[in-house]
Amino acid sequence: MSRIGKKPVSLPQGVTASVNGQTVTAKGPKGELNFVVNDEVLVKMVNNEISVEPRDQTKTARSKWGMSRTQIVNILQGVKDGFEKKLEITGVGYRAALQGKNLQLALGFSHDVVYQTPQGITITVPKPTEITVSGIDKQQVGQVAAEIREYRGPEPYKGKGVRYANERIVRKEGKKK
């Protein structure tokens, strides 16, 4: 049994949601998102609460039960508050700058890397060594942050590269004489 799926999802203040068949739509101050729930899961709206339950007791239906509830919680939180990921750049000469809507990264290559910001995502650079990715879709925010980190991930010897703000890099010992 899913412990997460059993709990109904209550609507946050200032957010309206509607269930139309298998589609859950949420509107809030930050925008509008929708999520299409898998056919093996039943979604109902009762008394300003969204409840999720499996249609039958098959293994696949029960496995999608908790994930569907979590996705609904994510869209409700996204339209209310939004999501944010912070990245840090470590290394001599490594820096980031905004060029219009594009992110320009100097990461030790012979050329600067230019990352085009997708629709619905906001990238800010408070310092040349910090990048903040924000938006209302949790999956898209995480994907954009992962794509930026992928250009030059942190290396284990000196820790140079792009990493998440709360990421801990396991360092290796260098050569011995």
pLDDT digits (tens, 9 = 90+) for 13-62: 989 998 998 899 999 999 999 999 998 999 998 888 999 999 888 888 88
Q: Domain residues for 154?
A: 83-164
The answer on 154 and 99 residing in a single domain is: yes
The answer on 88 and 158 residing in a single domain is: yes
Residues in the chain where the model's pLDDT stays below 70: 1-2
- pTM score, whole prediction: 0.88
What pLDDT score does 1 carry? 59
Q: Where are the alpha helices (DSSP H) in 42-83?
A: 59-80
Please report whether residue 100 resides in a domain.
yes
Q: Which two tokens stand for residue 64?
A: 């999608």
Of 80, 103, 135, the last residue of a domain is: 80
Number of domains in the chain: 2
- The residues, ordered by sequence, that sit 6+ positions from 124 with a Cβ below 8 Å of its Cβ are 98, 131, 132, 134
Distances (CA, A) of 49 to 2, 9, 72, 98, 164: 18, 5, 11, 41, 34
* Count of C-beta atoms within a 10 Å radius of residue 31: 14
**What's 35's domain CATH number?**
3.90.930.12
The answer on 147 and 97 residing in a single domain is: yes
Please report whether residue 46 resides in a domain.
yes
What pLDDT score does 177 carry? 80
The full DSSP string for 98-110 is EETTEEEEE-SSS
What pLDDT score does 2 carry? 65
Among 128, 105, 110, 34, residue whose Cα is nearest residue 72: 34
What pLDDT score does 62 carry? 87
Q: Is 49 helix (H, G, I), strand (E, B) or coil?
A: strand
What pLDDT score does 140 carry? 95
The answer on 112 and 124 residing in a single domain is: yes
- The residues, ordered by sequence, that sit 6+ positions from 107 with a Cβ below 8 Å of its Cβ are 89, 91, 94, 113, 151, 152, 161, 162
Q: Is 1 helix (H, G, I), strand (E, B) or coil?
A: coil
The answer on 92 and 58 residing in a single domain is: no
C-alpha R_g of the chain: 21
Q: How far apart are CA 166 and CA 156, in angstroms?
A: 16
